[in-house]
């Protein structure tokens, strides 16, 4: 859930939304926005069987100590033919090979697992789901976090990476909008050259 932005967006579009979040501060923020967010784990939330039409696990699965158990729980609370969307770092990405230990997706000790398209498929199928689609993308901020970590020799996170678009020992490199456009164009070219090797997995599952 984080700051509740996605839930709030879906609520404004007419969806009835529920969230699960382990961080009490984030839960308080979401509740102040009028969102129904449970503080704890999915197992503790005890949602009824076949309750949800759609479940979104955005940057969640890699943080869980038992992703298989959590996916089985997700299967239980999904309606027949219900859909599940998973977004998580792709350990099979081309940029992971380039940045090595500075790749943003490791995020140790907060990430317990790193998935590839193959391992996420096996995990989902073992929980009873049918794989409908698997895509990869590379969000600009994912690349920038890895780049800053590489340049400065330490591992940054998206939270503390307000990248100022400056090289280490020079003044302004580019105006931020110009630099972002440059990065976006480069990532599109990289995605075209190395399809299915983006930094983020986007997986659509269906309850069979």
Q: What is the pLDDT of residue 35?
A: 92
Torsion angle defined by CA atoms of residues 149, 150, 153 and 159, in that order, rounded to the nearest 10 degrees: 0
Q: What is the pLDDT of residue 157?
A: 60
Mean pLDDT of all residues in 146-173: 60
Q: What is the pLDDT of residue 18?
A: 96
User: pLDDT tens across 182-193, in order?
Assistant: 888 888 888 888
87 found inside a domain: yes
User: pLDDT tens across 15-58, in order?
Assistant: 999 999 999 999 999 999 999 999 999 999 999 999 999 999 99
Give the burial class of 41: count Cβ atoms within 10 A of its Cβ; 0-12 exposed, 13-18 middle, 19 or more buried: middle
26 found inside a domain: no
111 found inside a domain: yes
3 found inside a domain: no
The winner for highest mean pLDDT among 29-38, 78-87, 158-167, 188-197 is 78-87
State the total domains in the chain: 1
154 found inside a domain: yes
Closest CA to 18 of 47, 50, 49: 47
Q: What is the pLDDT of residue 158?
A: 53
pLDDT level of residue 156 (50, 70, 90 thresholds): low
pLDDT level of residue 161 (50, 70, 90 thresholds): very low
Burial 27-39 (b: 16+ CB within 10 A, else e): bebbeeeebebbb
Q: Domain range holding 75?
A: 41-207
CATH number at residue 95: 3.40.50.150
12 found inside a domain: no
For residue 56 the two structure tokens come to 């979104």
**Whole-structure pTM value:** 0.84
């Amino acid at each position: 859930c984080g700051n509740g932005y996605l839930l709030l967006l879906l609520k404004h579009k007419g969806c009835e939304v529920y969230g699960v979040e382990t961080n009490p501060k984030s839960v308080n923020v979401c509740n102040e926005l009028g969102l129904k967010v449970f503080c704890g784990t999915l197992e503790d939330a005890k949602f009824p069987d076949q309750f949800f039409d759609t479940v979104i696990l955005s940057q969640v699965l890699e943080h869980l100590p038992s992703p298989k158990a959590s996916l089985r729980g997700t299967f239980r609370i999904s309606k027949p033919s219900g859909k599940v969307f998973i977004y998580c770092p792709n350990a099979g990405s081309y940029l992971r090979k380039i940045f090595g230990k500075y790749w943003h997706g490791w995020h140790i000790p907060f990430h317990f697992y790193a998935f590839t398209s193959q391992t996420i498929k096996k995990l989902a199928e073992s929980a009873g789901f049918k794989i409908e689609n698997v895509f990869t993308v590379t969000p600009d901020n994912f690349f920038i976090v890895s780049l800053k970590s590489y340049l400065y020799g330490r591992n940054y996170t998206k939270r503390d990476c307000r990248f100022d678009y400056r090289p280490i020992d020079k003044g302004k490199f580019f105006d931020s909008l110009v630099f972002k456009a440059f990065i976006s164009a480069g990532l599109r070219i990289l995605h075209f050259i190395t399809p299915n090797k983006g930094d983020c997995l986007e997986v659509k599952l269906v309850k069979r």
